[in-house]
């Protein structure tokens, strides 16, 4: 009977030791795992962020790729809207005179300086225009230039030096620095 | 007459304390075992899910990188690079043209007091914003100060830098000429 219980006790102790050892093992494993999922989550978040950036890049590039023919057509359309080099000067002169007349101003003097733009079949033309009128007509002229169907980029504006404190109705002389482009014959 | 006689040859040993203690330890250890087991199981499950997601992300990244490489090769083709170059050039012209002079004149009128008038104006696109170089003539010191205060208070003209404040030249009737730079923006 005593020998039986000794055996039983040993078995119970062995089972308890096994259970406790399993607890310790699980505890160690849990402790070890405790830090790794956080790192993995961080890694996953970083990778997902990178993926989204890459996705946006690719989508944008695909969008541009699909619009390439339209972009090319727009470029052609824009270049065809420019004055032709063969008739450019007369067209600009007539256009500016017309705009000045509409604005009740007068183009007194025009100076041109042209420069070929290599490999683009374009010529950039700097136009220096002296315009006389009152303040309102000059503003109307500038407005007309901006709204014109022809391309003029107003780069700067200088008031003539002999203007005596111009008011809205006193005449002023303004020098406009414009830039336009001529389409060279292909 | 009956007499009770203990015929045992050894003292009676009770195992109750051992069994109770070992039972209690077994119950506590069993609960801990189950709790830790569940924790390990869930942690491993979520780890496996994260791993699966990370693999999915890696696969998608690899696929997108291939697509991006193909697109880069497409855009590097001479005919496409030329279209891109043309578009950039034309957009630059359109950007420069889009500057609204009429609006700027209206904004300038608000800050120009009597006795101050514009001599020259030159806007320039600098790092995506419009920097305006202004030269104005003033008929009196008072008008000049009024103009500077109005310009500083305006919302459209910011980052004002006075480059020069000198006596006027010529026969304009001005006492001084100011040269300044400001960033112009419509809010």
Q: What is the pLDDT of residue B181?
A: 92
A134-148 tens-digit pLDDT: 888 888 898 898 888
What is the rounded average pLDDT of the residues A50-72? 92
User: Does B83 map to a domain?
Assistant: no
| Contact across the interface for B50 and A37, Cβ inside 8 Å | yes
Which residue in A37, A119, A129 has the most chain B C-beta atoms within 10 A of its own C-beta, making it the best mutation to test that interface? A37
User: Does B93 map to a domain?
Assistant: no
B28-72 tens-digit pLDDT: 999 999 999 998 899 889 888 988 999 999 999 999 999 999 999
Q: How far is CA B20 from CA A7, A69, B29, B34, B167, in A?
A: 17, 87, 14, 21, 109
Q: Comparing B92 with A162, which gets the higher pLDDT?
A: B92
Q: In angstroms, what separates the C-alpha of A143 from chain B's closest C-alpha?
A: 6
Q: Which of A154-168, A169-183, B69-83, B110-124 has the highest mean pLDDT?
A: B69-83
Q: In angstroms, what separates the C-alpha of B152 from chain A's closest C-alpha?
A: 22
User: Does B68 map to a domain?
Assistant: yes
**Same-domain status, B108 and B179:** yes
Q: What is the pLDDT of residue A37?
A: 56
**Same-domain status, B109 and B63:** no
The answer to whether A167 and A138 have CB atoms below 8 angstroms apart is no
Q: What is the pLDDT of residue B64?
A: 94
As a whole-number percent, the residues of chain A with pLDDT over 90 amount to: 30
Give the total number of structural domains in chain B.
2
What is the rounded average pLDDT of the residues A45-57? 93
Residues of B within 8 A of A12 (CB-CB) are: 18-19, 22
Q: Which residue has the tokens 């946006």?
A: A56
What is the rounded average pLDDT of the residues B88-109? 85
**Same-domain status, B67 and B109:** no
Q: What is the ipTM of this complex?
A: 0.70
Structural domain range at position B38 = 17-76
User: Does B22 map to a domain?
Assistant: yes
| Closest Cβ–Cβ partner in A15, A30, A159 for B39 | A30
Q: What is the CATH number of the domain that holds B111?
A: 3.30.1360.100
**Same-domain status, B104 and B180:** yes
CA B122, B128, B130: angle at the middle one, nearest 5? 25
Question: Is B125 an 8 Å CB contact of chain A?
Answer: no
B136-175 tens-digit pLDDT: 888 888 888 989 999 898 888 888 898 888 887 766 677 8
pLDDT for A163 beyond 60: no
The answer to whether B144 and B116 have CB atoms below 8 angstroms apart is yes
User: Does B28 map to a domain?
Assistant: yes
**Same-domain status, B111 and B161:** yes
């Amino acid at each position: 009977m005593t020998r039986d219980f000794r055996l039983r006790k040993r078995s119970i102790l062995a089972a308890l030791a096994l259970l406790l050892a399993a607890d310790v093992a699980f505890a160690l494993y849990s402790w070890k795992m405790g830090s790794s999922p956080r790192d993995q989550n961080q890694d996953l978040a970083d990778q997902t962020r990178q993926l989204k950036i890459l996705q946006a890049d690719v989508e944008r590039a695909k969008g541009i790729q699909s619009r390439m023919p339209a972009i090319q057509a727009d470029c052609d359309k824009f270049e065809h809207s420019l004055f032709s080099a063969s008739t450019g000067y007369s067209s600009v002169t007539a256009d500016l005179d017309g705009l000045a007349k509409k604005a009740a101003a007068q183009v007194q003097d025009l100076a041109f300086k042209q420069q070929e733009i290599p490999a683009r079949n374009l010529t950039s033309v700097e136009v220096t225009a002296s315009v006389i009128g009152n303040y309102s007509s000059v503003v109307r002229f500038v407005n007309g230039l901006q709204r014109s169907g022809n391309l003029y980029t107003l780069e700067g504006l200088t008031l003539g030096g002999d203007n005596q404190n111009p008011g809205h109705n006193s005449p002023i002389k303004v020098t406009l620095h414009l830039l336009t482009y001529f389409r060279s014959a292909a | 007459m009956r007499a009770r006689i203990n015929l045992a040859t050894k003292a009676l040993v009770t195992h109750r304390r051992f069994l109770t203690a070992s039972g209690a330890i077994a119950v506590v250890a069993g609960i801990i075992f189950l709790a830790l087991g569940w924790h390990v199981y869930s942690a491993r499950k979520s780890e496996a899910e994260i791993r699966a997601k990370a693999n999915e992300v890696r696969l998608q990244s690899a696929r997108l990188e291939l697509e991006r490489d193909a697109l880069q090769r497409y855009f590097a083709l001479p005919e496409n690079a030329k279209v891109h170059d043309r578009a950039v050039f034309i957009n630059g012209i359109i950007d420069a043209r889009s500057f609204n002079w009429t609006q700027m004149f209206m904004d300038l009128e608000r800050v120009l007091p009597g006795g101050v008038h514009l001599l020259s104006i030159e806007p320039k696109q600098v790092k995506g914003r419009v920097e305006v170089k202004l030269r104005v003539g003033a008929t009196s010191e008072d008008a000049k100060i009024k103009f500077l205060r109005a310009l500083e208070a305006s919302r459209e003209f910011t980052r004002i830098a006075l480059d020069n404040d000198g006596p006027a030249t010529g026969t304009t009737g001005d006492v001084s000429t100011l040269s300044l730079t400001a960033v112009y923006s419509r809010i």
